[in-house]
Structure 1
Amino acid sequence: MPRDASELARRLAREAEAVCRHYLSNGKREGRYWLVGDVHNTPGRSLFVRLQDSPKGPAGKWTDAATSEHGDLLDIIRESLELRDFREVAAEARRFLNLPRAEPQPNLKSVRPPAVAGSQEAARRLFAISQPIEGSVVEAYLQARGIARVYHDGNLRFHPRCYYRPDEHLPTETWPAMIACVTDLDGRITGVHRTWLDPDGFDRIRLGKAPIDTPRRAMGDLLGNAVRFGPADDDVLVAGEGIETMLSLRCVLPTFPMAAALSANHLAAMLLSSSLRRLYIARDADAAGDTVQITLAQRAGAAGVEAIALSPRLGDFNEDLHVFGLNALRATLRIQLAPEDVDRFLLPATALG
């Protein structure tokens, strides 16, 4: 098997540019290299594949400058098609090279069948092909909302051309989007939340969101799950509705485990970890926020979990952060948190800059 892999890798290296054009079609050739975003064929320039032998190394070798990952063209085939068994990778390589198969194999498709729209699988694929938010319009959007330090633990990504369809009778559009993964208590991705953004900048009416009817949509299985920042199995948790609300709190509580349930109804139904002993409910200052606080507090109490409400001065904690700033938000939280959690989690005033 190792000799088979080495021989296939050598044969692929002789056709390095053709391999890249086929499996990394969103990239392009520049000099002796093929440049693309990553092994999942995301547009960009982070990953480079050597197309010719050189003193720096043989053809077919690649490196991702963003992650320091590296490998050969068999790895490109495996990762771009999300294959896991070497026999599948080898079969696909032979198919590409028009070589006979070494042993009978089931029919394999180089492209997986499309995922069912709105399914968990569709959500996982969208998150997988999205990019880091650093330097993107997502980072600019959050900064415009007052969230200058984005402690997101890798659960937010950026997609430059995320599909948006107003309704079934209108054509599909593409807009840049913030992609947040929704996970269960075991960390499995069950869905994603999309926030489509205006590439032309922050607008005070839309607050940076794209000029479309519904700039926020979720897909997958949301009930009981959440967008999580930090571990799901800690003994304390802050839970709220919106992503921006929770990221605002993380500006002064950067290591505090948090969960954004995405709506009042989903917050009321969010599953609680068996290890949880204290739950903070970051309520929005409206009737729905009052109702969900009561419901979730009752559920927590029935499970033996202490429930404490966190209340903003204005409509929500992102509005507080944007209007009053970091020091005021810290002061608001200091008097609402349990003393041991102040000592454990609250960022010192000297660190706010």
Structure 2
Amino acid sequence: MSRHERASAMQGPAAELAHRLAREAEAVCRHYLSNGRREGRYWLVGDVDNNPGRSLYVRLRGADDAHGGAGKWTDAATGDHGDLLDLIAARKRLHTLRDTLDEARQFLSLPRPEPSITGRREPPAPTGSPEAARRLFAMAKPIAGTIAQTYLRQRGITDLRDCGALRFHPRCWYRGDEDDPRDRARDAWPALIAAVTDLDGAITGAHRTWLASSGEDKAPVSSPRRAMGHLLGNAVRFGGATDLLVAGEGIETMLSLRQIAPDLPMAAALSANHLAALRLPPTLRRLYIARDQDPAGERAHETLASRAADLGIDVAPLEPAHDDFNDDLRRLGCGALAARVRSQLVPEDAACFCA
């Protein structure tokens, strides 16, 4: 999560500590990534585990509020990125924002905040609200090396570059229902957390996929996928869309397409109804709609295609051979999927994004 997103989500201590760390970016790197070295304006190291190499780079100078400001880091091998609070959390294996802030204060030699006179904590966010979604995403961590990454690999999804919308929570609360007998359901499971954002990038909701402890499948509960917050019109986004976008229903569907076209901007609306209501960037000139092969998917395609055409946007369907594109990826393999999708793209897009 970027410093800007964290400030929007949490306000106060997290944003202030992120700014302080950015001003001491080189000192942070020398402490937590001691096997790296400085080259110009960057600190280079192998990964967040401090292995030697050059894959991960941290910017040491720049405006605090700039997209490429001091403290911003990216791992070119995994696509993980964030600010120095994210880096500290990943390096120290910290699973809560509170522990991360405590570690940052210790590094900066700052005292822990005194408890308020009344002893009251920040009031809880309303259940299922956008604020609850923002807090959940802030508490999660990058997915590299986690059960969430294991789960996606089981689904054939290995390339996770530019997937900052995805995070991992080791113990995400699951509330069972009448289909989850108490002796079968646990209070919390590991979960893949996806940020739902509007066209301006503000987090409006979150999607949770609860996972088995091995990461080899979803958790054995009746509803392993649930969303919260304001979803209508919004989506889980991969890449910044301006004139071109691929839109579909499921996260794994869109991640499957990204295995063959990682630079093509995509949006997962999370359901057929939400796909039909997806808000489109005003600069969009071409929209590809990745259809699911069922009646709901057909209706969503027709509705969204009609809306886009009314806005003067060129529309083209992307049709899987089986139920959806993740099914195609696992059954056909990357090569055959790439050939199938390439044949459905406008030639100039196929040449640019599926070379």
CA distance in 2, matches of 1:212, 1:313: 29
| Cα deviation digits, residues 185-236 of structure 1 (max 9, x gap) | 000000000000011342xxxxx1100000000000000000000114x100
- Pairwise mapping of residues 10-159 of structure 1 onto structure 2 (< 5 A)? 37=94, 40-41=97-98, 61-62=106-107, 71-73=108-110, 93=113, 95=114, 111-159=121-169
1:167 and 2:177 aligned? yes
In structure 2, the residue matched to 1:287 is 295
1:217 and 2:226 aligned? yes
In structure 1, the residue matched to 2:34 is none
TM-score, with normalisation over the residues of structure 1?
A: 0.69
Identity of aligned residues (%): 53
Answer whether contact 1:36 1:47 (CA < 8 A) is retained.
Answer: no
5+ residue gaps, structure 1, are 1-34, 50-59, 63-70, 78-92, 97-105, 203-207, 349-353
Displacement after TM superposition at 1:42 (Å): 5.1
Three-state SS of the structure 2 residue aligned to 1:341 is helix
In structure 1, the residue matched to 2:75 is none
CA distance in 1, matches of 2:146, 2:269: 24
> 169, 188, 194: which one pairs with 2:202?
188
Displacement after TM superposition at 1:262 (Å): 0.2
- Count how many residue pairs are aligned between Structure 1 and Structure 2: 261
Answer whether contact 1:193 1:217 (CA < 8 A) is retained.
Answer: yes
CA distance in 1, matches of 2:234, 2:163: 17
Displacement after TM superposition at 1:111 (Å): 2.6
CA distance in 1, matches of 2:220, 2:279: 34
| Cα deviation digits, residues 78-118 of structure 1 (max 9, x gap) | xxxxxxxxxxxxxxx4x45xxxxxxxxx9786631111000
- Pairwise mapping of residues 339-350 of structure 1 onto structure 2 (< 5 A)? 339-346=347-354, 348=355
CA distance in 1, matches of 2:344, 2:118: 58
Answer whether contact 2:96 2:139 (CA < 8 A) is retained.
Answer: no
CA distance in 1, matches of 2:197, 2:353: 23
CA distance in 1, matches of 2:238, 2:283: 17
In structure 2, relative to structure 1, the CA distance for the partners of 1:216 and 1:152 (3 Å cut) is farther
Three-state SS of the structure 1 residue aligned to 2:303 is helix
In structure 2, relative to structure 1, the CA distance for the partners of 1:108 and 1:277 (3 Å cut) is farther
> 256, 260, 271: which one pairs with 1:252?
260
Answer whether contact 2:233 2:274 (CA < 8 A) is retained.
Answer: yes
Answer whether contact 1:162 1:177 (CA < 8 A) is retained.
Answer: yes
- Pairwise mapping of residues 171-320 of structure 1 onto structure 2 (< 5 A)? 173-202=187-216, 208-232=217-241, 234-320=242-328
In structure 2, relative to structure 1, the CA distance for the partners of 1:143 and 1:42 (3 Å cut) is farther
| Cα deviation digits, residues 54-76 of structure 1 (max 9, x gap) | xxxxxx642xxxxxxxx3425xx
In structure 2, relative to structure 1, the CA distance for the partners of 1:38 and 1:318 (3 Å cut) is closer
Displacement after TM superposition at 1:140 (Å): 0.5
Displacement after TM superposition at 1:340 (Å): 1.4
Answer whether contact 1:145 1:318 (CA < 8 A) is retained.
Answer: yes
TM-score, with normalisation over the residues of structure 2?
A: 0.68
Q: Aligned AA for 2:158?
A: A
In structure 2, relative to structure 1, the CA distance for the partners of 1:262 and 1:42 (3 Å cut) is farther
CA distance in 2, matches of 1:41, 1:294: 46
CA distance in 2, matches of 1:39, 1:164: 17
| Cα deviation digits, residues 117-171 of structure 1 (max 9, x gap) | 0000000000000011111110000000011112353110000000000139968
Answer whether contact 1:36 1:42 (CA < 8 A) is retained.
Answer: no
CA distance in 2, matches of 1:182, 1:247: 15
Over aligned residue pairs, what C-alpha RMSD do you find?
2.5
Three-state SS of the structure 2 residue aligned to 1:280 is strand
Three-state SS of the structure 1 residue aligned to 2:223 is coil
CA distance in 2, matches of 1:335, 1:108: 65
Answer whether contact 2:147 2:214 (CA < 8 A) is retained.
Answer: no
Answer whether contact 2:95 2:140 (CA < 8 A) is retained.
Answer: no
Q: Aligned AA for 1:124?
A: R
Q: Aligned AA for 1:37?
A: L
Answer whether contact 1:178 1:194 (CA < 8 A) is retained.
Answer: yes
In structure 2, relative to structure 1, the CA distance for the partners of 1:209 and 1:38 (3 Å cut) is closer
CA distance in 2, matches of 1:107, 1:183: 36
In structure 2, relative to structure 1, the CA distance for the partners of 1:241 and 1:231 (3 Å cut) is same
The 10-residue stretch of structure 1 (160-169 or 223-232) with the greater mean CA deviation from structure 2: 160-169
